[in-house]
Chain A
Amino acid sequence: MEKMRSLWGEINLISSIVLVIFLVSAGCSEDSSNVVTDHDHGSHDHGVVELKGIVSKHTTNQMFMLKLDFGVKLVKGMNSFTLTLMNHDGKAVSGAQIEVIPFMTAHNHGSSAKPVVTTQGGEKYLVENVVFQMMGEWDMTIKVSQGKMSDELKLTFSIK
């Protein structure tokens, strides 16, 4: 019995260490609050997930709201997606300058191609030639500017 009590104490100690390590290591993961879908409405998912379906997200300084339709999901290789741009009040924003920059932070390199953004009329934009040449964790920064306002959104996700 004495032996079992001692063993249980060790297990609790291990549990505490594990908890501390978890809390510390959780800081390593990207803040995936960037990855928000219409279905989780701002809930925080602390894994790096794939980007799929429709994702709505404010830019960092809340100047713009982006609605991004990734279709089935972003994949290794060539991708395209649509972007609907609104201001913080939800009003359509047309004629904006938009730049999309994929980057693999862990490897310190960008994409092997340069994304091309074209206007589709009104608040609709088409983003093509988005290439993720290898699997792993990617960032994609979407820079938006219109008139004097400019802001950006950074998404972090995995490509399989």
Chain B
Amino acid sequence: MLKTLIKPNCYFLLFLFSFSLVSCSNLFTVPEDEALEDEEFTSAEWELIGRLSPLPTNPPSSLTNRFADDPQAAKLGQHFFFDRRFSKQGTISCATCHSPFHAFTDVESTSLGSGRGDRNAPTILNSAYNHWQYWDGRKDSLWSQALAPLEASNEHNGSRLQYAKLIDQYYRQPYEAIFGLLPNLSDLERFPPQGKPGSKAFDQMAKSDQIMITRIFVNIGKAIEAYERKLISRNAPFDEFVAGNRDAISREAKRGVKIFIGKGECILCHDGPNFNDNDFHNLGVQGNNPQMMDSQAKFMRVPQHPIGGEKRTNAWGRFFGIEQLLQDPFNNDGIYSDNTAANQLKFLTPFEFHLGQFKTPTLRDVALTAPYSHSGRFHTLEEVIDFYNRGGGNSGFMGEKEGTIKSLNLSQEEKSNLIEFLRTLTGRPLPDELTRNPNSF
């Protein structure tokens, strides 16, 4: 009866009204009074949900590593990943801090290798979808990232000369099948047992021999990347839900989805099927012992910059990450890259707004990867959500906290629903053969 009495001009006004409300709101704010497309979500909400799943079948091509999708290289890289001989004392492997038993991370706030690290070990799962590696983006490829811990004093603490000899002794045949002939490394005067840039043994070698050894070292990283590209978390209950199985996640999780794409504004940064924007943000997260990187900073030849005179610490985040990347001989524009044509770093310059920014992590398998944040300060998802709910941190960080971070006013029930949703992002387990040291080639 009421419907027949409302004349068309009333409909028009109602249309204008709803339109004007939309124009006032943020793009992602879904009008609550919009008709549900199905029993649960509006068409606008489904549009946002559709951004989050499915994960593309293959990660983006790794243009700077021509072995990235070579199955033999992946197999060899898997051996390297689990082999503890790739460390000074023979006690540390990549899997020490990126354990398959903990979704390729560890349970430490900051990892313990040869020494205590200063940042939380992120998961390797789906890292092949990331443009940047490390919390501060100081690496622009997975192969280049894999090299740094091998020589870092608080991680594997080994050296490229040591690793070249390890390859020569234990991996010659599979290595040569992929990368070509190894040089003869038996002359101990020409090729000492240990040495990396900065050490007397390495620096006194002929330049051509330094490059030869470094190429072997680089190939270790390229093989490890080929393996890591297989470590993909997909087919989570949330993916099944988006694909059409509406019972794949609970009612509470569905409410959590609404918060994720609406009131919580989580999707602003955790956007796309890998739940990250491949970018960096300053949330005001307090760092851990920012002095720890001072020793490293001393050795950086920092370019002239308005704040170039100051000592870098790990709290500098993306700013320092850019500086390091631009000087890294293993960056995508360097001589060890298999494709420098893209000239990917030409616009990269550290600006003050990069201070204190850290990378948006993936949320896939997030329920398995505690502790959280670059400093590992949050031990549970509840702590993370509480942090966001109160509008981020207020002290103990560098730079300016981003305006996006503000109090959310989520109720206890809303926070629980959000966490229920995050738990639906745990993918199907990887095949067993990818999660252990392979016995043979």
List the interface of chain A (C-beta within 8 A of B): 4, 7-8, 11, 14-15, 18-19, 21-22, 25-26, 28-29, 46-48, 76-77, 104, 106-110, 112-114, 116, 128-129, 131, 133-137, 158-160
Contacts of A77 in B (CB 8 A): 278
Chain B nearest CB: distance from A117 CB in Å? 11
The CA of A109 and the CA of B354, in the complex, are separated in Å by 12
The CA of A159 and the CA of B271, in the complex, are separated in Å by 13
Q: Is the interface of A mostly helix, strand, loop or mixed?
A: mixed
> By the criterion CB–CB under 8 Å, are A134 and B268 in contact?
yes
User: In the complex, which residue of chain A has the Cβ closest to the Cβ of B360?
Assistant: A133
Q: A47-B19, A109-B404 are in contact. Are A18 and B13 (CB under 8 A)?
A: yes
Chain B nearest CB: distance from A87 CB in Å? 29
> By the criterion CB–CB under 8 Å, are B351 and A133 in contact?
no
A8, A29, A134: the one within 8 Å of B5 (CB): A8
> By the criterion CB–CB under 8 Å, are B24 and A29 in contact?
yes
Contacts of B13 in A (CB 8 A): 15, 18-19, 22
Contacts of A110 in B (CB 8 A): 353
- The 28 listed contacts between A and B (C-beta, < 8 Å) are A7-B2, A14-B10, A15-B9, A18-B13, A18-B14, A21-B17, A22-B17, A25-B24, A26-B23, A28-B20, A47-B23, A48-B23, A77-B278, A104-B403, A107-B404, A109-B402, A109-B403, A110-B353, A112-B353, A112-B357, A114-B349, A114-B351, A128-B347, A131-B279, A134-B268, A134-B277, A135-B267, A136-B26
User: In the complex, which residue of chain B has the Cβ closest to the Cβ of A47?
Assistant: B23
Q: A15-B9, A25-B24, A47-B23 are in contact. Are A135 and B14 (CB under 8 A)?
A: no
- Nearest 9 A-B pairs (CB), nearest first? A108-B403, A29-B23, A28-B24, A129-B347, A25-B20, A107-B404, A133-B279, A107-B403, A18-B13
A112, A116, A134: the one within 8 Å of B280 (CB): A112
Contacts of B404 in A (CB 8 A): 104, 107, 109, 134
User: In the complex, which residue of chain A has the Cβ closest to the Cβ of B353?
Assistant: A110
Contacts of B280 in A (CB 8 A): 112
Q: A8-B5, A110-B353 are in contact. Are A136 and B403 (CB under 8 A)?
A: no
B10, B19, B26: the one within 8 Å of A15 (CB): B10
The contact size tier of chain B is 20 to 34
- Interface hits, B314-373 → A, CB 8 Å: 347, 349, 351, 353-354, 357
The CA of A26 and the CA of B14, in the complex, are separated in Å by 14
> By the criterion CB–CB under 8 Å, are B23 and A28 in contact?
yes
User: In the complex, which residue of chain A has the Cβ closest to the Cβ of B272?
Assistant: A76
List the interface of chain B (C-beta within 8 A of A): 2, 5-6, 9-10, 13-14, 16-17, 19-21, 23-24, 26-28, 267-269, 271, 277-280, 347, 349, 351, 353-354, 357, 402-404
Contacts of A129 in B (CB 8 A): 347
Contacts of B268 in A (CB 8 A): 107, 134-136
> By the criterion CB–CB under 8 Å, are A134 and B403 in contact?
no
Contacts of A46 in B (CB 8 A): 23
Contacts of B349 in A (CB 8 A): 114
Contacts of B351 in A (CB 8 A): 114
The CA of A117 and the CA of B234, in the complex, are separated in Å by 40
Chain B nearest CB: distance from A150 CB in Å? 23
Contacts of B402 in A (CB 8 A): 107, 109
Chain B nearest CB: distance from A1 CB in Å? 12
**Besides A15-B10, A104-B404, 12 new A-B residue pairs in contact (Cβ under 8 A), listed by A number:** A8-B5, A11-B5, A14-B10, A18-B16, A19-B16, A22-B17, A25-B20, A25-B24, A76-B271, A107-B268, A116-B347, A135-B27
> By the criterion CB–CB under 8 Å, are A26 and B347 in contact?
no
The CA of A86 and the CA of B271, in the complex, are separated in Å by 39
> By the criterion CB–CB under 8 Å, are B23 and A135 in contact?
no
User: In the complex, which residue of chain B has the Cβ closest to the Cβ of A23?
Assistant: B20
Chain B nearest CB: distance from A31 CB in Å? 11
